[in-house]
Amino acid sequence: MVQALNHQRLCDQADTVWRSHLGPAFSPAWGALYKPPLTKRQGDLQWRLLHGAIAVNAFVCRVNRAVGEGCPFCGERETVVHCFWECGRLRHMLELLRGLFTSLGAEFNAQVFVGGGQVLQPQQEEGAAAQFPRRSGQDGRLCEQEEDGPGPE
């Protein structure tokens, strides 16, 4: 009933608050978001992040007039996108991640950061990314890397 009454408004609404950052064809890699070493709780947080279901100040100020809509770090309007992608306090962390991804031959962007993106293509998994220790089993212990001679050149 509610959906029928608001059908037109819902049709005009983006499916995620991140749509303008993710592009029109992107869909989250849910399998990657709920796969070890990530815990279910971390996957759930990513689900909430993608759906804008996080109590940021732009929402909280609507239900609590004592709260302003500004970001406590920079004063900009605190939306989910601002809080997790645009805020200046994230700059160093995002630069660090961008450098790490670049060193692995992968691109770092909002699709990867928020959607768990299809980052590592099969040929890349065989390259630099394969040199990282892998986790195995349900306990998430690190596996020893096999020493089978010099790596790829």
Least distance (Å) from Zn ion to the CB of residue 36? 32
Under rule CB under 5 A, how many of the chain's residues touch Zn ion? 5
Give the CA angle between residues 24, 29, 31 to the nearest 5°: 160
Give the Cα separation of 90 and 94 in Å (integer).
6
Least distance CB 21 / Zn ion (angstroms): 16
44 vs 76 by CB, closer to Zn ion: 76
Under the binding rule (CB under 5 A), the answer on residue 55 touching Zn ion is no
Of 33 and 71, nearer to Zn ion (C-beta) is 71
Cβ at position 147, least distance to Zn ion in Å: 46
The least CB distance from residue 78 to Zn ion, in Å, is 6
**Closest separation in Å from C-beta 75 to Zn ion:** 7
* Residue 130, Cβ density class (10 Å: 0-12 exposed, 13-18 middle, ≥19 buried): middle
CA atoms within 13 A on the CB side of 115: 20
Q: Which two three-digit tokens encode residue 39? A: 């815990």
Of the pair 83, 106, the CB lying nearest Zn ion is at 83
CB atoms within 10 A of CB 118: 13
Nearest one of 52, 115, 105 to 81, comparing CA atoms: 52
CB-count burial class (<10 Å; 0-12, 13-18, 19+) for 96: exposed
| Residues within window 68-87 making contact with Zn ion, judged by CB under 5 A | 71, 73-74, 76, 87
Site for Zn ion in 78-137 (CB under 5 A): 87
Residues at the interface with Zn ion (CB under 5 A): 71, 73-74, 76, 87
